[in-house]
Amino acid sequence: MFDGLKDKLNDFRKDVEETTEEESDAAADASDSASADAAADPAAGEAADATDATSATGAASDDPAAETDASADGAEPSTFQRAKAFATGRIIIEEEDLEDPLWNLEMALLESDVEMSVAEAILNTVRETMLGETRKQVETTGELVEEALHDALLDVIAVGQFDFEERIAEADKPVTIVFTGVNGVGKTTSIAKLSEWLADRGYSSVLANGDTYRAGANEQIREHADRLDRKLISHEQGGDPAAVIYDGLEYAKANDVDVVLGDTAGRLHTSDDLMSQLEKIDRVVDPDLTLFVDEAVAGQDAVTRAEEFNEAAEVDGAILTKADADSSGGAAISIAYVTGKPILFLGTGQGYDDLERFDPERLVDRLLGDDEA
Ligand code: GDP
């Protein structure tokens, strides 16, 4: 999943490791020459030792934070400080070490369809986490990069997360969930999958087809309803979507059904129509949750649509389908940060069981880890 992005993140790790290795070699040379000077001049012996010299002159302390502050103030660590850090088994990372790798990372994120503001947020966190840090060498540069990337990715991916199952459990029944998003992205399939997901957790559901616009929409959702043996509420093509979902709610109340899953039209001739239709549904049905559905393979388009739909009818979360297909991963990384609303589920195939609760930690581990999942 998201293999391209995973490879690019790995490239960044290698980039930084290579750059800091070169710097460490330079520091080692400096350290060697300091020791050589000491040997040539026995009187200066103690003071020329990289570690003791700094404490003797008081130019720097052994406190790593002091060096961090020095870098944050814009003061470049001197070759001497680097040599000292090297001699005491630490690495100093400077802005110039990161310049090229961060540039490459930015390009890689943008190429992977990560939205610009999201890429910038990731870079800022990585830069802040890594700059001026002095680390004991036990913690290798590779580990430091991994930690910085982990935190940076999680910060943007985990925006707005909440416990969906708990929300359903605690809500007064019936719970009404309305699905928005354009046609063809897997909206109807996701409704069917979520109906199964709910059934697995002991909740009954009824489907309501609020897509009264598209010819064939009723037949499409009926196929799923029949296969899953669920009740479907539908009206004639051209009917009022709000009325269909309202009828679904009435049916659920009368029959003790826990959840109403309401489809909506994906694309109308003008966005004003879409807006007013979704607003009417909001007014008439007052859904407990509105979920936006889009496909991972749509990349930037999915992010733009998420923003547009969120403006038309505020969404509570998103379902990202086709995560099993070869996609850049940009949508998965960007949607929550851009809209402020979390991705709640990933669609991972065409079967009804191919719906996975979105777990930001797990995605970050997948992107940074060695596992192929
Ligand atoms: P809608 O027009 O948005 O309602 O889209 P559909 O639900 O009809 O789905 C369009 C196509 O995408 C169908 O062939 C689905 O089987 C397929 N699809 C939906 N979700 C997924 C998914 O998570 N992975 C894959 N590989 N295909 C999916």
Looking at the CA of residue 181, tell me the nearest atom of ligand 1: 3
- Do 288 and 203 share a structural domain? yes
d(Cα 186, Cα 322) in Å, to the nearest integer?
8
Q: Which two tokens stand for residue 188?
A: 């109807």
* Distant-in-sequence, close-in-space partners of 192: CB < 8 Å, separation ≥ 6: 207, 221, 224, 225, 227, 228, 352
Number of C-beta neighbours around residue 360 at 10 A:
20
How far is Cα of residue 278 from the mean position of the Cα atoms in its chain? 27
Q: Which domain holds residue 150?
A: 95-157
- Do 337 and 193 share a structural domain? yes
Task: Please identify, among 109, 139, 157, the residue that sits at the C-terminal boundary of a domain.
Answer: 157
Q: Do the beta carbons of residue 170 and residue 133 sit within 8 Å?
A: no
- Do 232 and 114 share a structural domain? no
Give residues (CB < 6 A) around ligand 1: 183-189, 220, 321-322, 324-325, 347-350, 354
d(Cα 73, Cα 357) in Å, to the nearest integer?
44
What residues does 4 pair with on adjacent strands?
none
3-class SS of residue 295: strand
- Do 200 and 325 share a structural domain? yes
- Do 339 and 290 share a structural domain? yes
Q: Where does residue 272 rank: exposed (0-12), middle (13-18), buried (19+ CB within 10 A)? A: exposed
pLDDT (tens, 9 = 90+) of the chain, 373 residues, equals 888 888 889 899 888 888 776 655 665 565 555 555 545 555 544 444 444 444 444 444 444 444 444 444 545 666 666 666 666 656 667 778 788 899 999 999 999 999 999 999 999 999 988 876 665 554 677 788 888 999 999 999 999 999 999 999 999 999 999 999 998 999 999 999 999 999 999 999 999 999 988 888 899 999 999 999 999 999 988 889 999 999 999 999 999 999 999 999 887 556 677 778 888 999 999 999 999 999 999 999 999 999 988 988 899 999 999 999 988 889 999 999 999 999 999 999 999 999 999 999 999 999 998 655 5
CA angle 189, 191, 193 (to 5 degrees): 70
Q: Residue 237: its pLDDT value, please?
A: 87
Query: What separation in angstroms does the CA of 316 have from each of 115, 167, 340?
Result: 20, 11, 9
Protein residue whose Cα sits closest to atom 2 of ligand 1: 184
- Do 42 and 81 share a structural domain? yes
- Do 275 and 218 share a structural domain? yes
Kindly give the distance from the C-alpha atom of residue 205 to the centroid of ligand 1, in angstroms, as a whole number: 20
Give residue for tokens 């009954």. 204
Q: Looking only at Cα atoms, what is the longest distance across the chain?
A: 99
Alpha helices in the chain (DSSP H): 3-40, 45-48, 50-57, 64-72, 79-87, 95-111, 116-130, 141-157, 164-170, 187-200, 217-228, 241-255, 271-285, 300-312, 330-339, 360-368
Q: Do the beta carbons of residue 201 and residue 330 sit within 8 Å?
A: no
d(Cα 170, Cα 77) in Å, to the nearest integer?
56
Residue 7 belongs to a domain:
no
- Do 88 and 223 share a structural domain? no
Q: Which two tokens stand for residue 252?
A: 């659920």
Per-residue buried b or exposed e for 285-320, using 16+ beta carbons within 10 Å of the residue's own CB:
bebbbbbbbbbbbbbbebbbbbebbbebbebbbbbb
Residue 205 belongs to a domain:
yes
What residues does 321 pair with on adjacent strands?
295
Looking at the CA of residue 211, tell me the nearest atom of ligand 1: 4
Task: Please identify, among 104, 126, 157, the residue that sits at the C-terminal boundary of a domain.
Answer: 157
Q: Which two tokens stand for residue 186?
A: 């897997």
Kindly give the distance from the C-alpha atom of residue 187 to the centroid of ligand 1, in angstroms, as a whole number: 7
d(Cα 161, Cα 151) in Å, to the nearest integer?
16
What is the pTM assigned to this prediction?
0.82
Residue 366 belongs to a domain:
no
What residues does 347 pair with on adjacent strands?
355
Residue 79 belongs to a domain:
yes
CA atoms within 13 A on the CB side of 67: 26
- Do 70 and 191 share a structural domain? no
Q: Do the beta carbons of residue 102 and residue 127 sit within 8 Å?
A: yes
- Do 105 and 36 share a structural domain? no
Looking at the CA of residue 347, tell me the nearest atom of ligand 1: 23
Number of domains in the chain: 3
Which amino acid would we find at residue 337?
Y
Residue 4 belongs to a domain:
no
Kindly give the distance from the C-alpha atom of residue 235 to the centroid of ligand 1, in angstroms, as a whole number: 23
Number of C-beta neighbours around residue 197 at 10 A:
21
CATH number at residue 342: 3.40.50.300
d(Cα 57, Cα 52) in Å, to the nearest integer?
9
3-class SS of residue 343: strand
Looking at the CA of residue 182, tell me the nearest atom of ligand 1: 3
Kindly give the distance from the C-alpha atom of residue 132 to the centroid of ligand 1, in angstroms, as a whole number: 48
Residue 8 belongs to a domain:
no
- Do 327 and 223 share a structural domain? yes
Residue 3 belongs to a domain:
no
Residue 81 belongs to a domain:
yes
Q: Do the beta carbons of residue 2 and residue 334 sit within 8 Å?
A: no
Protein residue whose Cα sits closest to atom 9 of ligand 1: 186
Kindly give the distance from the C-alpha atom of residue 1 to the centroid of ligand 1, in angstroms, as a whole number: 17
Strand duo 289-295 + 175-180: pairing: parallel
Kindly give the distance from the C-alpha atom of residue 321 to the centroid of ligand 1, in angstroms, as a whole number: 7
Q: Do the beta carbons of residue 326 and residue 348 sit within 8 Å?
A: no
- Do 287 and 245 share a structural domain? yes
